[in-house]
Structure 1
């Protein structure tokens, strides 16, 4: 778990540094400050994400150990009651044990397949360094970590099956054993409960430490996000004023899609599910119909087409110092180096596994992220 999040921390920090080099050689002092703040925010967010994974792992381990304690207590009670059961119950437990062993074998094979798949995809993360949007980085890393999430599920499944298998084996040993063997089993379970309770105390202490660190990080995150939000608003106001005072011959942009619903706006906003977490959006998110075509917002040169197997595309177009970024698209038509006219088709909006088609669009001037809504002409239908 930690390695994936450490990769996220390195990737987000590196891409924040790589993007200015990709888009422009010049850096102003205020832009440097904004980039530094943005880097700090992403690092804190990745540490918080790391801690959430740690907390989730600790919770899972606590649940796993608590089950073992309860199972051991049940076996001790079974020995104390000195119950006897018929052959039919013995057969039922034996059949249950066979089924559990078979399920565990299947789970082991599935887990090994996941490890092989993860090994095959080990080089994909290096390609993320070339992505031009921190938001895309988070989306793509989240999708890469889907494999890791599935792996964690298989591990939990294996632990649960192992627990249940051990409990059934212990029951059979109690029912089939002699009085001396039963007493020995009970003594082992008592010692096991003592050991498990000690482990549980340690895990609960670690969980409290992680939660305490999260509280401190969250306060720091809020402070930095407020400062960055003010800086971004100042840049936006400056560009809006500049645009209003400019001549009619200045560059203008059309919307990348003709129809859709704006579901994500530029700037810092609260996370949709975790309200205590704030999310920085470098552009706009537009929910559209299936296979909605994406068009060039202005004439320009295709600068980059970024692709990861199974993870869709991002297209970057240079408009003479302005840069438009179209992410989560498929069926890309132009190639790197192609010249585009305003309105030329670029791609189609890709569809997620949940059946949703959502375009992420960004607009830059040099190294400055712009609020696309302030520059796009017209409206969405």
Structure 2
């Protein structure tokens, strides 16, 4: 029957209107925004400490830069949320229009059935319709048709009620989407206003610092001396590891050659490797190096919660530039420092009054500077995320850890290795 086909089509369409595929992405964006809010709150607390003195400092500038970066990222996250909401709103509006059209058609069909039933509602008319059949088989089919028609009227009424309920739900969801978008727009505007103020503060701090260029150069020179001292210590430690690895490889090669001669076989050719690849010469070191590489971009941070205040590479402040071999991460007071991957503690030293832990991962090394306490010892094997100490704080109560990652004698950008 035509009416039955229309109703079935309406029900199929009704059931096929599922939830949108934005849920997981929306949830991820919400989690990211919540984390950004925590980071912003932490950096704001840090800013209050560094700006309490009338004298501006590099730490205040770094905190402002970090705050600006976080707020910019939060605005981008809000924009992504609004794009998804716009998609949801459009989809829900289309669903509402479709359900309204279905409801109109269902009501029209139901009205036609009611009119037909009213015209033929008498028991006599139904009996005449059945007895007017040519034979018993046709009479039976007419009787079944009347029964099905009656049942279908009940089902059609239920279809209408279900469609109305679904329509109300979609309208409520649409109103919720619009309210969420209004809230996001308000949050976005608030962040833009705060961002503008932070950028103004940053400009003022840069002006004050550049006006005190002599003092700034002195401060940076001290930082660069500390960095150079750390660099020398790291390179010396890595060179020592390479020398030990070469010595071990040479001893193994001599033992293999002696064994070959004793067995009357040709001695294996000696290794000519002179690079840091000798750090991965043993099967264990090679496996650890390969595992480290396979986790590129997924390694955990050296602290559970932190904000980058100094990035890897060249940093420019006014007319002055400085180099950084790693990340400086501001974190909470007494935050636990943790190993980013399994390995062996290669060295523990004190540089410029700051404790440094160096961990070897095959041919890779990770460096953790500015630890107040250390809970590991040289030669100790550590696991991923194992606590190796606590982060130290300066006289202003600002807690920062300096983290570096090396492959042999070459520095690496932590941003390419740590999880985003």
Pairwise same-fold verdict (TM > 0.5): no
Of structures 1 and 2, the one scoring higher in RCO (CA 8 A, sep 6+) is 1
Larger Rg: 2
TM-score normalised according to structure 1 size:
0.36
TM-score (norm 2): 0.32
